[in-house]
Amino acid sequence: MEEIKLDEKQALACCGSTQFAKQMAMASPFPSLDHAISAATDIWFNKVDVNGWLEAFAAHPQIGESPSSHTTSAQWSKGEQATALATATDSGLQELSNWNAQYRQKFGHVFLICAAGRSAAEILNELKNRYLNRPILELEIAAQEQMKVTESRLRKLLSAKAKADSTGSQYSMVGVRKAEVSNLHAVSHCTISHEGFLGKAPQVQTRTRPPITTHVLDVSRGSPGAGIEVHLEMWKGSQPRPLFGEIDIGGWVLQGSSTTDKDGRSGQLMSMVDALSPGVYRISFNTGKYCPEGFFPYVSIVFEIRETQKFEHFHVPLLLSPFSFATYRGS
């Protein structure tokens, strides 16, 4: 199978961030579509900063409005919103427009959602629900939605490229076959091993980042939480898992530690493995050192990874203020 190539212009059409486009072009070519998607996810969440996110958001038309330009990105947006536009009434479009304006005024960017296959009513309901979020949380959700859109577009673009390359290869083989036929003595003895002709597929690691990652957002300041010590541990006690209300001395084994960078992202907390060991993990943050006047001397988040999830990625962020914190499983 030929490698999949992606240039900067094509990457920019999939995601309107120039940071993303340059990084993807540098990472190209990719051995497979899945490798390209994995690289895109890593670049978007770990290498593109907030300004890059906002640039990508700004490349989208407002939900409910059909894009006027004829660029590839605009045509994709039109297709993605087709269901919404087809199911919307005039009054529904007006209400959607009003809520879009309120959203932009509060958050400073367009309301972003992976709209493909969603009705206008579904999108409006989601917009109203997300309007209640704090800006720092909504930025994170919008980035997740942008990645869904980017992945969908990459799959369309790269699948089409792979199909075109395959068709071209077929025509090339027809030419080769005609040349072989003209050399009759060679044809009767010509057998080609598929593996020998193409070569064995290289053994490429499927992950481009550690299977467990985190970042910290300081919601009281509206900025990343930089310089926070982070520890990742795994339960290896005598019991299969730590039990509520029981002392767990000696059961936790350190997997790795790091300190969050200027973007609030942690460094590598564990080895780059394809298959993650199932079990119970604990990620802890030295919040007392970061915010001495706060309520929490430290914060620990305990979560379980099951056998069926060992090839998945687990991003466990911390949304922190002096007197509250929240978390969720991200991409």
Q: What is the pLDDT of residues 178-208, one digit of tens each?
A: 444 344 333 333 333 333 333 434 344 456 7
Q: Are 301 and 316 in contact (CB under 8 A)?
A: yes
Q: Are 286 and 264 in contact (CB under 8 A)?
A: no
Which is more confident, 175 or 59? 59
pLDDT, residue 169, reads 47
C-alpha to C-alpha distances, 52 to 43, 58, 190, nearest whole angstrom: 11, 10, 54
In the annotated binding site, the residues are 215, 265, 328
Tell whether the model's pLDDT for residue 145 goes beyond 60: yes
pLDDT, residue 26, reads 93
CA angle (66 as vertex; 62, 69 as ends), nearest 5: 100
Which is more confident, 32 or 231? 231
Question: Which homologous superfamily does the CATH classification assign to the domain defined by 8-159?
Answer: Oxo-4-hydroxy-4-carboxy-5-ureidoimidazoline decarboxylase (1.10.3330.10)
User: In 3-state terms, what secondary structure has residue 325?
Assistant: strand
Q: Indicate where the chain has its CATH 2.60.40.180 domain(s).
A: 212-242+249-327
Across the range 278-302, mean pLDDT stands at: 94
Question: Which homologous superfamily does the CATH classification assign to the domain defined by 212-242+249-327?
Answer: Transthyretin/hydroxyisourate hydrolase domain (2.60.40.180)
Mean pLDDT of the chain: 80
Residue type, 90: D
Angle, helix 135-182 to helix 72-80, in steps of 10 degrees:
110
Active site residues: 60
Range in 20-29, 165-174, 204-213, 259-268 the model is least confident about = 165-174
pLDDT, residue 33, reads 87
Q: Are 131 and 103 in contact (CB under 8 A)?
A: yes
Tell whether the model's pLDDT for residue 87 goes beyond 90: no
Range in 82-91, 203-212, 258-267 the model is least confident about = 203-212
Tell whether the model's pLDDT for residue 66 goes beyond 80: no
Tell whether the model's pLDDT for residue 74 goes beyond 70: no
- The H or E element spanning position 326 is strand 324-327
In the annotated binding site for substrate, the residues are 215, 265, 328
